[in-house]
Amino acid sequence: MKLSPKALRLVCLLLGVMMIVGMFAGCGKSNDVSSNDTSSDDTAASKPDDSGKDKSTAEPVTLKYMTWYPPQNIMNEIIEKFENKYPNIDVKVEINEPGAHCQKLPIALASGEKIDVMGVMVDIAKQVKPYLANVDEVMTKSVGDDWESSFKDGVLDWSKKICESDDVLILPTGSLASPVVYYNATIFEELGLEVPKTVDELKNIIQTIKQKKPDMMPLAFRGKLYWLHSYSAFGLWGQKKPQLLTKVNNGDIKYNSPEVKEMAQWWLKLFEEDIISKDTLDVDNTKVNEIFYGGDAAMLLHGSWMAGLLSKDWREKNGVEIDRIGAFMFPSIEGSEPTTAAIYDVSLGLNKNSKNLDEAAKLFKFILLEEGLDVLVNNFLVFPSKKGYEVDTSNFVDEPGKNGFDALSEGIANPNNPERYLSGATKEFGRVLQAVTLGEDIQKVLDEFQKEFESGKY
Amino acid sequence: MRVPTNSIKVELPVKQNKKSQSNILGYVFVLPAVAFVAVFIVYGIFFLVKTSFYKVDISFLNPEFIGLDNFKIALADKKFYRSLFNNVVLAAVTIFFCVTLGFLFSVFLCFKLKGTKIYRTLFFVPTLLPNALIAAVFAGMLQYSHGTLNRMLRAIGLDFLAQRWLADPGWAYFSVMIISFYFIGMAMMYYTADLSTISPSIFESAIIDGANMRDMLLRIIFPLLINSHKTVTLTMMLTSFRAFERVFILTGGGPGYSTQITGTYIYSFFAGESAIGNIGFVSTISIFVLIVAFIIGSIQLRAYSRASSQ
């Protein structure tokens, strides 16, 4: 078909106009994901029918849920169960990598995107605070006046502190701790090794592994991630100096202070004594899993969110080629208690501007207190913040798994620092610690970093 | 021949009308491009300049006007200078590979040898691949304990050659630079196209005059490809300022600060799990990088236009 010049011009004109309109439309506020404003009058009274389905919402409603956690397959399971329970509520989930979530969520909210439920990382709690609904009102309506008693002591105070608010704006699904150590129990048994109680014992274990299994990485660590040096050093050194991280974050202790220098020297010592090898400085998230899951590392320094490794079912589902895995808290440093840093985490918040707040509250409750939480816990992704929740450990078919889970639970219940949060500057400080492990002069790099910090760059 | 005046009176308004209609249509066709530039370039630069005067995080809530403070901090920031220096080194290495090896390979592949098309394709394919993919492949290969390169060296008894390619600051720097070799395909494309425009009679005359291979390469072909050198140098110089994926995936700018370039430095303040979130400072150093890239580009263009005119 051949177009006449006039028709061709018209087509070009239309395309041009469409392009301009499209471009400017993209700059505007996005449309509401749900075309129906169907706030129900009183959802507190709504109950599921005999089939377990709650049809109290008359018109179909679409909720938008933006988060970074849990992984997609687990989220699908949660949403499927939720939509089955509430057939009139459709949930559109956007899961991003943690870093991308920190970047996208504040921008999405600031640009007026209609997000109903959001995963709130501690790092961005203050940034999204202006958009968060008062949880007290929502939970009173959906759970009842005594909703606060559903959560463990300290959860609400933690939430207020994180958001610097008198109201409760976010609620955590559970607690996470890091770093903790997972170990290949089969290798330990083969070499006659026992879970170490002190750093010296850990050092001996590493020496034994290096001698008897020279091709094996004794302790896998994601050393390429510079910010993890901060998390790990502060998290572990908290055994000796509890709250050091919080004081540094708050600016109460300088980065070039004797306290921080002492920590940096200890961190260097770990590398000098080969407890953590310099060979791990190019290992990232993907590689560390490949190495440990494939049985090429005897131990793994990671977070409690990897507790699924303790379960045989989880290992089979995720292609982990190890028969038995255990876990322990990083052992005692110079006579201190073997603890780590742990916080409430994986928090949820509701957008106060949501037109579907009642429906969003149902999803909120579902994940925090109901079947959604069961899915998270059964996959060992969080240690629940719901009071009296009994975790079913029947999936732990062996002794190392059971003992490991108990060790993690104990560590999370008694952390050396209940604030694992790192400020932007403290994250960047990880590069300084990384440089220290490579032989840079400690005092010099600490002084330089403190100078930078004082310049206002961070 | 005398033209009747009444015909002019009739024709003029029609021509003007057609011309103005044609102009309007022209503007309409140009409008999408103008709108694109206005939204993504002009507004982008305006936004950078505006936010550089503020202390503000990525939520853009409660911006605090701090005047020129971000500029003062950036000008006193040793790490920014170091990242800029690394950019220049990266550009220099990339240009070196392209203008030497890229040029030589292009010339040799112009000879009527067997398999030249295959070799040309082999060199050119990496330039079609995303930088991120190339970097990810190399990151896996160069990893110390489980990387393919070290495993291969160990397997053939050359353990002493196995290095911490990405975990040691010196070797990491070397690794980031050496991967520039994979970008010679782009240069070869320019050189090959330009070589085909050189008349064979020039080479025939040179041979009759007794020129050897070295003379032909350095005194005839190299100067004749001045336009390609110009394009390759400028392209590679500016490409090095966009080498973000390569460095980010290979080393993340580390270990420590060793391989930090401006792209990764800016990113560390802007996004990712480690984001510091000082958007005002991000804008400020972005402006500096823009200015530096602009100056380098201008100097190069001037130098080459002088050389061309001579």
Nearest to A278 by CA among B163, B46, B57: B163
CA–CA gap between residue A360 and residue B236 (Å, rounded): 51
For residue A347, the surrounding DSSP H or E stretch is strand A341-350
Q: In the prediction, which pLDDT does A396 show?
A: 75
Task: Using an 8 Å CB-CB cutoff, list chain B residues near A118.
Answer: none
**B144 lies within 8 A of chain A by CB:** yes
CA–CA gap between residue A128 and residue A103 (Å, rounded): 11
Nearest to A236 by CA among A121, A382, A345, A337: A337
Give residues with Cβ within 8 angstroms of A230, minimum separation 6: A422, A426, A427, A429, A430, A433
Do the Cβ atoms of B76 and A455 come within 8 Å? Answer: yes
Q: In the prediction, which pLDDT does A36 show?
A: 35
Pair B190, B231: CB distance under 8 Å:
yes
Do the Cβ atoms of A424 and B278 come within 8 Å? Answer: yes
Among B143, B144, B275, whose Cβ lies nearest the Cβ of A99?
B275
Query: DSSP assignment of A361-400, as one string?
Result: HHHHHHHHHSHHHHHHHHTT--EE-BTTPPP--TT--SHH
Distance from CA of B116 to the nearest CA of A (A): 38
Distance from CA of B144 to the nearest CA of A (A): 6
Q: In the prediction, which pLDDT does B23 show?
A: 79
Provide ipTM, 2 decimals. Answer: 0.80
Adjacency order of strands within the sheet including A170-178: A89-95, A61-67, A117-120, A341-350, A170-178, A383-384
Q: Which residues 268-287 of B are in CB contact (within 8 Å) with A?
A: 268-278, 281
Q: In the prediction, which pLDDT does A232 show?
A: 93
Label residue A61 exposed, middle or buried (CB < 10 Å: 0-12, 13-18, 19+). Answer: buried
Q: Is the pTM of this model over 0.90?
A: no
Distance from CA of A360 to the nearest CA of B (A): 23
**B78 lies within 8 A of chain A by CB:** yes
Q: In the prediction, which pLDDT does B115 show?
A: 81
Do the Cβ atoms of B58 and A106 come within 8 Å? Answer: yes
- Region B198-208 average pLDDT: 89
pLDDT along chain A (458 residues), means of 10: 64 64 51 36 44 62 94 93 95 91 89 94 88 92 90 91 92 92 96 95 96 95 94 91 87 94 97 95 93 95 92 86 94 87 90 94 95 91 89 81 91 78 84 94 96 88
- Region B174-182 average pLDDT: 89
